[in-house]
Structure 1
Amino acid sequence: MATTCKIEFENNPRKVVYAGQLLKGTVRLHLTKAKRVRSLYIRIHGRAYVHWVDGTSDNRKVRVFTGNEDYFSERTNFVGGYTGEVRLSPGTYSYTFQCLLPPNLPTSLETEYGYIRYTARVVLDVPTWSDKSFAVPFTVIKMVDLNNFPRLRQPVEVEKNDTFFICCILCCCSSRPMQIVARVPVGGYTPGQFINLEINVNNHSGQSISGFNIHLIKRIKFFIHADSVRQKHLTYVLAKQYVDYSNEEVTTRVDIRLPSVPPTDLSASNIIKFGYSIRITACVSCCYNDPVLEVPITIGTYPLQDNVPPLNVPTLHPHSIQVNAVADPITPLLPSNNVVLQQPTNRTNYSTLSYPSTSNAPLSYPDSEDPPTYEEAMQLSEAADNEFRPVYPCEEAMQLSEAADNEFRPVYPVFKRSTSYSSGNSIH
């Protein structure tokens, strides 16, 4: 019988930990025969890694780009140290460990081009043979309380004005404008909530709209190092719906339920950044380009609370949005020709937060509120729409995961509650 090792987190079977929280656990090692080791230790490690290939397998100009970033690494010795030898007799050994996670860790993420991954690895350091190790991945979540960003309570409104080039026998001219306004009641949501999207059309162009294609989009940007010009982009469709449009006098409403996805984060990691938006495409005649709008949204880990007085600020319109400078500015991931709101950086004061030890509900919530469930991340490679899904050249060269971690999928908090700004009873 081979040597076995089991790594358990204290009162935390889902292995979910928030950045800044104290991680506690137990290691149970079973040896079937005596071993001489230099040390027996556990290493808690967090890192990001990216890898992509430009070119094709039959192209001599194929280039491989990789990057990595370490966030922390903490080693705790159970037996021995860095020198000498210790003999371990056959039997079962039990050890406890704890590790205080840094407060600004990025949220766990797994993608085709890279990952942000955290592992607890027990190592038998054998001086005359290869080391024996046992690894367990776990989810780290960066706390993004949407209530810390008051402007997210304001409606987000994006306007698109299009004209169409019309030609007749004698002349060519532009049509009268078609105005499309997309609006969401607030700028921030959590997984499990519904985004109540409203679309209004003021159409004087003479061109009819048959319907709207609506996509909930996640954009990821990969860098080989901080401020690198070498970048790779992924665009995923998390949810999609087609809505018929026949009565131009009626507001069209679409309820989009957010799946289990990580919170918006454009600042914690230097090599992987991601954000979210709603893409609305108006379907007009095949002779013209379809008008497209994108509404930026912020996804957090704790929802906006009801019954909080709103700020005395105007509704966000495309021609009145002003982004205030911040100490650590970030670049939104939406195309530059769209109206974009500055995504907030997480300014939670972790020194004032009281984190309990790891448990089934990693953070405490008021008794009057339902705590979140923790659900596995949406499988993006299966859900991506063909219109947006990228093509991966030389996929056989992209070995991003160790064998022990291939089946790991992070879990994220999902809130199933209705609020004044989020309601719905079906999944689209």
Structure 2
Amino acid sequence: MGKKEKPSRHIKCEIRFDNNPLAIYRPGDAVTGFVELTLLKNKKFRGICLRINGFASTYWGSKVKNGSTNYKKRNISFKGREDYFNTISYLVGSDVGNPLEIVAGSYSYPFSVVIPANAPASMEGTFGHIRYMIQLTLERPWKHDIVNTAPFTVRVDSDLNLLAETLSLPTKAETVSCFYFGLTEPLVVTATTPRSGYAPGEVIEMVMHVNNQSIVDIRTILVKLQRVDTFISQVPWVDKKVEYTVLEERYTGKISRRHNARFEENILIGAGTPSNDSLCRIVYTQYEIEIVVHPSRSRKRPTLRLPIVLGTEGLTSSNLNPEAIIEKQRLAMADFRPPSAPPAQMATSEAMAIPPPPYTDLPQNSVSTFQSYSLEGPAENECAKGSEPYTPRDY
């Protein structure tokens, strides 16, 4: 691919998908359509190449020591790639042939490809992505190539009932902390959920017990539902980057020394990419509830993590009647507070705010903060001239 330049004003190209204006597909689907090429004047091309591919890519830069005895650091580019399918066909000419003159006019070229059954879902992150694209390249002699790209989105269905035996089990996490070099009684924080598998529209009912027998007050406890994206490099060696995206966070009230407390948090699950840690070896997505304790007069930050699996179809054994589901969603929405809100007092059954409208009446992502706190990484330009910036469609 040559240096980018503005598309020629004598060449127009449009890539269309058959009966799928949103270009959203699932593994196993056939992606069909056609390329419309219009030349306003005669043009010479070495070849017209159509490429359809799906791939995962990771990339970031880091400074590492230059040798074991040299303290100077050098910049290293970490990269990884995994291809799922890659078809290349020349509609006109070839990559090594003589230039051919194409007369002015309109030309239509059909295309078709089947997405593999084990292809992962489309995904975009700071340190990598999973993308699916159709690319038409007009290879010109003695000039830069003209490239037009049309992305399409792959969604993956995830039925949690296939792992019901595991995902329906309760989860539990506990941390025991002592302050002042262990000279005080411990602080014990325990968190539980009734199961680990959830689908959009369901509510995580988390219960947290705090046994503070220490002489340190707990200023607040932060509860976060977050997506964890992991990116793995292959060259120059295997390394890993992790990006955390906060979907929702809550703050508890103060817990005084020598006191116990119990908190109940109802967290509504919004739409999102399903958990995936098996379809792609270099990019995968997980979810978790992270609980961070903020004591007064101490730098310690005791932390708990509860793993959560997000699917597209919930556990059948956990389904409730519609009225109960709506009531749980109302409670979860009533508990939702943005990160900028001041720490709230402990929730009690006597003091309950007026619930907002049900989840089904709200915008898709209205219950999430989507706050990301990873470091900014270098961008990789997979789209060439004549193409729009790539943005996969949400679930």
Q: TM-score w.r.t. structure 1 length?
A: 0.66
Q: Which residue of 2 aligns with 1:149?
A: 163
* Secondary structure in 2 matching 1:103: coil
TM-fit CA distance, 1:100: 0.5
Whole-Å separation in 1 of the counterparts to 2:26 and 2:48: 27
Whole-Å separation in 2 of the counterparts to 1:10 and 1:374: 27
Counterpart amino acid of residue 138 in structure 1? F
1:347-426 alignment, distance < 5 Å:
383-385=371-373, 389-390=374-375, 392=376, 398-402=378-382, 404=384, 407-413=389-395
Q: Which residue of 2 aligns with 1:105?
A: 119
TM-fit CA distance, 1:374: 8.9
TM-fit CA distance, 1:11: 2.4
Name the CA shift for 1:163/1:399 in 2 (closer, same or farther; >3 Å): closer
1:65-80 alignment, distance < 5 Å:
65-80=78-93
Deviations 1:389-428 (A, max 9, x none): 33x5xx6xx3412455673221232xxxxxxxxxxxxxxx
* Secondary structure in 2 matching 1:412: coil
Q: Does 1:295 pair with 2:306?
A: yes
TM-fit CA distance, 1:278: 0.9
Q: Which residue of 1 aligns with 2:102?
A: 88
- Which of these residues, 36, 58, 61, is aligned with residue 53 of structure 1? 61
Name the CA shift for 1:152/1:141 in 2 (closer, same or farther; >3 Å): farther
Q: Does 1:211 pair with 2:220?
A: yes
What's the % identity of the aligned pairs? 27
Q: Which residue of 1 aligns with 2:284?
A: 273
* Secondary structure in 2 matching 1:222: strand
> Do 1:163 and 1:205's aligned partners in 2 also have CA atoms closer than 8 Å?
no
> Do 1:226 and 1:270's aligned partners in 2 also have CA atoms closer than 8 Å?
no
Q: Does 1:11 pair with 2:19?
A: yes
Q: Which residue of 1 aligns with 2:31?
A: 23
Deviations 1:126-152 (A, max 9, x none): 456543221012222333222221135
Whole-Å separation in 2 of the counterparts to 1:12 and 1:237: 32
> Do 2:229 and 2:243's aligned partners in 1 also have CA atoms closer than 8 Å?
yes
Whole-Å separation in 2 of the counterparts to 1:87 and 1:407: 31
Whole-Å separation in 1 of the counterparts to 2:27 and 2:176: 45
Whole-Å separation in 2 of the counterparts to 1:406 and 1:164: 55
Whole-Å separation in 2 of the counterparts to 1:262 and 1:3: 38
Whole-Å separation in 2 of the counterparts to 1:268 and 1:80: 37
Counterpart amino acid of residue 279 in structure 2? A
> Do 1:219 and 1:276's aligned partners in 2 also have CA atoms closer than 8 Å?
yes
- Which of these residues, 41, 61, 75, is aligned with residue 33 of structure 1? 41
TM-fit CA distance, 1:166: 5.6
Whole-Å separation in 2 of the counterparts to 1:297 and 1:70: 28
After TM superposition, the runs of 4+ consecutive aligned structure 1 residues lying more than 6 A away are 247-250
1:339-350 alignment, distance < 5 Å:
none
- Which of these residues, 225, 241, 246, is aligned with residue 250 of structure 2? 241
**Structure 2 unmatched ranges of 5 or more:** 1-8, 65-71, 321-359
Q: Which residue of 1 aligns with 2:77?
A: 64
TM-fit CA distance, 1:7: 1.2
Deviations 1:103-156 (A, max 9, x none): 112222222222222111122344565432210122223332222211354243
> Do 1:260 and 1:411's aligned partners in 2 also have CA atoms closer than 8 Å?
no
Q: Does 1:305 pair with 2:316?
A: yes
Q: TM-score w.r.t. structure 2 length?
A: 0.71
TM-fit CA distance, 1:73: 0.3
Q: Which residue of 1 aligns with 2:352?
A: none
> Do 2:78 and 2:237's aligned partners in 1 also have CA atoms closer than 8 Å?
no
Counterpart amino acid of residue 171 in structure 2? E
Q: After superposing the two structures, state which structure 1 stretch, 300-309 or 253-262, moved more.
A: 300-309
Counterpart amino acid of residue 410 in structure 1? P
Instruction: Give aligned pairs, total.
Output: 332
Deviations 1:272-298 (A, max 9, x none): 233221101233332362332100111
Counterpart amino acid of residue 21 in structure 1? D
